[in-house]
Amino acid sequence: MKKTVSTVGMFAMGTMLFLASTAANASGNELALGKIQAIKIFDRSGSQFIQILFPVSELAGNAGGCDETVDGGVTMGIAYISYGSHTPAVINMWLSALMSAYETGAVVRVTSAGLSDPCEIDMVALEPSNL
């Protein structure tokens, strides 16, 4: 008898592998843990990047300098994904997870290894709201 794996099963297996590999590489400094307030995607004068905005109260204590006053004079915590710092496949995975979290109000954890910028993301995780 031939065994088949459902699409849902394959997705679940892939998600578990992604989360396990992400958790194993989560050695960066925590930037934020909370609900995303906005996602902005830019292409300005050849500089392509994504901004993820959190309430400033949800920034980690070691995320100094990762806040900015935005429209309306509100200070927000800001994390970045720069297209030149990551592969397109990683950016697509992260953006999918971030957009899903934004739409559903899920809690997100982002960290930074301080690549070229201490506010540059190196890990994205969706977290249970009780953590």
Would residue 55 count as lying in a domain?
Answer: yes
Task: Quote the CA–CA distance of 83 and 90 in Å, as a whole number.
Answer: 10
| Domain residue limits at 100 | 7-127
How many domains does one find in the chain?
1
Would residue 73 count as lying in a domain?
Answer: yes
**CATH code of 53's domain:** 2.40.50.70
Would residue 2 count as lying in a domain?
Answer: no
pTM, rounded to two decimals: 0.73
Q: What is the pLDDT of residue 64?
A: 72
Would residue 34 count as lying in a domain?
Answer: yes
Would residue 32 count as lying in a domain?
Answer: yes
Q: HSE on the CB side for 54, CA within 13 Å? A: 25
In tens digits, what is the pLDDT along the chain, a chain of 131 residues?
444 444 443 343 344 334 433 443 445 788 899 999 999 999 998 889 999 999 988 888 766 788 888 888 888 989 999 998 899 999 999 999 999 999 999 999 999 887 668 899 999 999 876 55
Would residue 84 count as lying in a domain?
Answer: yes
Q: What is the pLDDT of residue 125?
A: 93
The structure tokens listed for 64 are 């100094």
